[in-house]
Structure 1
Amino acid sequence: MASLKQALMLFFPLLAFSSTVSSNSEDAGIAVYWGQNMEEGVKEGTLQETCQSGSYKYVTLASLTVFGCNRTPSWDFDSHCSGWDCLTELAPEVEFCQNQDILVFLSIGGMDDYSLCSPEDAKEVANFLWQVFLSGQQIPDHGQGLALNGIVFDIEGKRSNLYYDNLVTELNAFRTQKQFYLTAATGCTIPDYLLDKAIKTGYFDFISVKLYENSTCQFDGSANNLLNSWDIWTRYVPSNAKVFLGIITNPSDNGYIPPEILISILQYLKLSPNYAGINEWNRYSDVQSNPSYSDQVLPYVSKNVLRYVTEKSWL
């Protein structure tokens, strides 16, 4: 396996790729977090502009940052909107994205104030997520809820790992009423302390592994640690789940992968049958370069490109 990795790293940067391959293949794509870049929020563009760019297959609203244990749930979409008005303001933009065949998710968690206190608490949070962000139903005193395509569990920090398996199970029960997707955004350590029990339920459709800001798995001029971690994760997750490579698009952050290097790395990742694409943090840093990071790598994300390459017998 190591020799195959070395061969890919050696040959693929020199390869000329077909310009006829579609970047909109159903088998893989680019996901991006939107709405969470501190005071620079307006500079990442609106949600509609993000979807209009043609770069993404998935856009994740970041984030529901307060929930559980009798807390009043609240979300932070930075300077784009605030409070319950967000539902009204974002609804037409979400619909626009969905009409472009882009799936819109909500991330829950991050580094703020949340935890779950019991199975009953997990059920209450699941009911809230269903009613406000997934079902599109009327919310008493607040108007129409959103009808998003899924929830991303981005559980971070030094906190309790209890009852997230209950939460994903409760959310899964709502899929008898409407199809939506569930994603776990994990660190690179196996098992992931916070989400391992939830992952083992088998209810997650996607696992997004953050292979950055951790010296044991990030790109550091060499891709060896990253590729080894990718191999372990793609074998570890339940067989029904597809795996995203979680990356950062800010060159000053630890674990940043230059686009030309990522293009080479992708050729190895796409050998995994459960490869789903890349998941970028975040939209703001993505568009600071011209062309954007996404636009530079997009033609090479699809698995179709790998089929073109293997036909050329480079391996």
Structure 2
Amino acid sequence: MEIQFSSSFACSLLIILVFLGCYSEATAGRGGIGGGIATYWGQNIREGRLTAACATGKFKIVNIGFLSTFGNGQLPQVNLTRHCSPICNGCWNVSAGIVNCQNDGVKVMLSVGGPHGNYSLSSGAEALDLADYIWNNFLHGHSTSLRPFGYAPLDGVDFRIERGEFSPYYTLLARRLHDYGRQWGRKVYLTAAPGCRFPDNYLTKSLYTGLFDYVWIRFFNDRQCQYHSGDPSGFRRSWMQWIHSIPARKFYVGIPASEEAGDGYVTPAVLIRDVLPFVKRSASYGGVMLFDLSNDVQTNYSSLISRRV
């Protein structure tokens, strides 16, 4: 039996298909369909203002980095290099950027740790004190002192621990932050950036808790597991170990946004052709993390991959 379609039906179908195509393109950068792009902001003045980064529509999550001084009796301090000084003149200009990003649908996180700085957690008391400080000064709590970013609450906390000795107390820090959110009815997103070699010396035990929403695995500065075009087996083995061992919501492939940003740079063409088809097979694939925004500004990496992530 031959099925005939009226012209009005055909027109309606065409409109629906066009709408779906436009929606797909509009949401591609923020992960509405498929994956999204996360990045780090705060360590180089050339990356520009936070508001401008989020207004591009390319990023799903921006990590403000870093809270890189804490522990050993130190007052926790944020280091945003030349953007602003929380101690001297405050970072209230960042507050407007946080609000603008959130209005654009971008989650903004405080990244704890980083590749440089002076930080450690040597006791449970230090972990609880740091959690209290973060909740009251960056999330939904109330501080008697000046909040570094004003009264714009961030969406959560990113754990990027790369220095010092192993500490079991980062798990306690994560639990305390999670419990604060439940107690006050405010979702506190927890994310982490472990090194690609499994298990990570600093974060694996914390990640086993299942408290973390997103994990961006740093596939750089470690030749055992970063991507090699000639032999991608180390990269693939590492990816599979992470996604099958850690109960996180989504996993991101973390790569440098330029050759200057770290060993393990992968060109956009290679990422699209060789890396993404493999990781996208995983139901827990979340997207790509680019380190960092200042390098992305120079290479335009995010624009070159946003529709394919």
TM-score (norm 1): 0.83
Point out which structure has higher relative CO (alpha carbons under 8 A, 6+ apart): 1
Show the counterpart of 1:310: none
* SS of the residue 1:188 aligns to: coil
Calculate percent identity across the aligned residue pairs: 32
Show the counterpart of 2:120: 115
Show the counterpart of 2:11: none
Q: Distance in 1 between matches of 2:134 and 2:291?
A: 23
Task: Provide the aligned length of Structure 1 versus Structure 2.
Answer: 276
| Candidates 275, 285, 293, aligned match of 2:285 | 275
Q: Distance in 2 between matches of 1:86 and 1:286?
A: 26
RMSD between aligned residues:
1.8
Q: Distance in 2 between matches of 1:173 and 1:276?
A: 25
Q: Unmatched 5+ residue regions in structure 2?
A: 1-19
Show the counterpart of 2:301: 293
Q: Distance in 2 between matches of 1:60 and 1:99?
A: 16
Compute the displacement of 1:231 (Å): 1.4
Preserved CA contact (<8 Å) 2:66 2:111 = yes
Q: Does 1:77 align with 2:80?
A: yes
Q: Does 1:217 align with 2:222?
A: no
Q: Distance in 2 between matches of 1:281 and 1:25?
A: 18
Matches within 5 A, 1:197-208: 197-208=205-216
Deviations 1:172-229 (A, max 9, x none): 1011121121012101122111112211111111111111111111123333321221
Distance 1:155 1:113, change over 3 A: same
| Candidates 251, 254, 262, aligned match of 2:263 | 254
Matches within 5 A, 1:109-258: 109-110=113-114, 111-135=116-140, 137-142=141-146, 144-176=150-182, 177=184, 178-222=186-230, 223-238=232-247, 240-252=248-260, 253-258=262-267
Distance 1:257 1:168, change over 3 A: same
Compute the displacement of 1:129 (Å): 0.5
* SS of the residue 1:98 aligns to: helix
Show the counterpart of 2:36: 29
Compute the displacement of 1:254 (Å): 1.2
Compute the displacement of 1:118 (Å): 1.3
Q: Distance in 2 between matches of 1:123 and 1:194?
A: 18
Show the counterpart of 2:3: none
- Aligned amino acid, residue 133 of structure 1: F
| Candidates 43, 67, 71, aligned match of 1:68 | 71
Preserved CA contact (<8 Å) 2:99 2:152 = no
Compute the displacement of 1:138 (Å): 4.2
Deviations 1:220-269 (A, max 9, x none): 3333321221111111111x431111110122431000000111211221
Preserved CA contact (<8 Å) 1:241 1:274 = yes
Q: Which moved more, 1:203-212 or 1:143-152?
A: 143-152
- Aligned amino acid, residue 171 of structure 1: L
- Aligned amino acid, residue 233 of structure 2: N
Q: Unmatched 5+ residue regions in structure 1?
A: 1-17, 302-315
Preserved CA contact (<8 Å) 1:131 1:145 = no
Compute the displacement of 1:164 (Å): 0.8
Preserved CA contact (<8 Å) 2:58 2:303 = yes
Deviations 1:115-167 (A, max 9, x none): 112112111100001011111x4422315443001111000034232311111
Preserved CA contact (<8 Å) 2:226 2:234 = yes
Deviations 1:2-22 (A, max 9, x none): xxxxxxxxxxxxxxxx98642
Q: Distance in 2 between matches of 1:113 and 1:237?
A: 28
* SS of the residue 1:173 aligns to: helix
Q: Does 1:91 align with 2:100?
A: no
Q: Distance in 2 between matches of 1:179 and 1:87?
A: 24
| Candidates 20, 38, 62, aligned match of 1:59 | 62
- Aligned amino acid, residue 267 of structure 2: P
- Aligned amino acid, residue 155 of structure 1: I
